[in-house]
Chain A
Amino acid sequence: MNERDRAEEHLRVIRTLMERATIYRAISAPTALAGGVIAITLAAFIWVREHHWAENAPEVMRHISTRGFASLWLGALAIVIALNTFFVWRKAHHDGRPFVSPSLKLALRSILPCLVLPAATTVWFFYDGFEFDNELLLVRVWIGFYGLALIATQHFAPRSLVFLGGAFLMTAAAMMVASRQLEYYATPLVPNLAMGVTFGFYHLIYAGCVWKSAVQADSE
C-alpha cells in the first residue's frame, strides 16, 4: 500500500467514524415506510368503520369511542416502536456494535423530554379528556410534539429528518390556528384524517425521499 492509498484509507476511516458519531437517524427508512403504511391502514380502517355504521345506524353519533380511537393509535405506535427497535438492533448487530450505543443514548436524551407532555396529555385524556371528545386536542399535541422531538435531534440527525419534524410541527400549528373550523366537523373524522396524513403520508414521503441514501449508508 503506497502513501496515497494509505492516506485515502485513513480519510475513509475518518469520514465513517465522524458520520457514525455525529449522524444518527432516529427513524430509519424502513421504520418510516412501515409506520406510514400502518398509519394509513389504521386511518382507512377507522374511516370505513365510521362511514359504514353512519349509514347503518345514523342515529348513533359516533361508533368508535373516544378512548377506542386513542387506543387504536397507541396500538399502532407500539407496533412501530417495536419495529424501530428491531431495525436499530439489526443494524447494530450487522455492524458488530452494541445495541445501546452512545448515539442511541444521545438520541434518547434529546427525544424523551419532548415526549413528556404528549404522554401526560394521553394519561389525562384516558382519565378525563375523553368525556368531552378531546381527540382533536390530543392529536394536535401528538403531532406537534412528535415534530419537536425530531427537530431536537438536529445536531446529529440528517437534514431530511429535521424537515420531517418541521412538517409535523407546522401541521400542528396550522391545526391550532384553524381550531374553530376543524371542530365544526364530525369527530373523530378530522383527528383521524390528521393522523393519517401526518403519520401516514408524511412518513411515506420521507421514506421515499431517503430510501436510497439511507440504505446505502446502512450497507457501508
Chain B
Amino acid sequence: MPDFDKLDKAIHEKGRLSIMTLLATRLAWSFQDLKAELNMSDGNLITHLRTLHKLGLVAVTKEIRDRPQTSYALTAKGRSAFAEYLRVLEQIVKAGRK
C-alpha cells in the first residue's frame, strides 16, 4: 500500500504541478513563456512560483537584455522532488489497479 503522506504537498496541486512539469522539460523558462503555455493569470502564476521558490524547488534568474526578463528553472532539490513525486504517484496508480 503506497504511503499518500509521501506525496509532496507543495507539488500535489494542479497549478504548481503544471509549473514543475514544464520546468522539468527544459533548462529554463521565461515568465512570459510559462504564462502562455499554462494559460494562467499573472497573479496566479507568480503566487505559485513564489511558493515553489521559497521551498527551494525553483531558481529565479533576473536579466536585463533589451528589457527585464525573469526566467525560472528547477533546482537540484526541485528536480529530485519532482522525480520522487512521480514515483509515488505511479505507486498509487499501480496499487489502485491491483
Contact = CB atoms under 8 A, between A and B. Distances in A.
A37 B4 CA distance: 55
Contact of A14 (B17, B26, B92): B17
Interface residues of A, number: 18
Nearest to A156: B25
B22 A7 contact: no
Could you tell me the dominant secondary structure of chain B's interface residues?
Answer: helix
Contact of A13 (B14, B24, B96): B14
A13 B18 contact: yes
B76 interface: no
A11 B93 CA distance: 9
A13 B17 contact: yes
B21 interface: yes
A7 B25 CA distance: 20
The 3 closest A-B pairs by CB, nearest first: A4-B96, A7-B92, A102-B33
DSSP class of A's interface residues: helix, strand, loop or mixed? helix
Contacts of B18: 13, 17
Interface of B: 4, 12, 14, 17-18, 21-22, 24-26, 29, 33, 36-37, 39, 86, 89-90, 92-93, 95-96
B39 A18 contact: no
A101 to B, nearest CB: 6
Given A14-B86, A102-B36, A22 B25 contact: yes
Given A18-B25, A101-B37, A102-B33, 5 more contacts: A13-B21, A21-B21, A21-B26, A96-B39, A97-B39
Contacts of A93: none
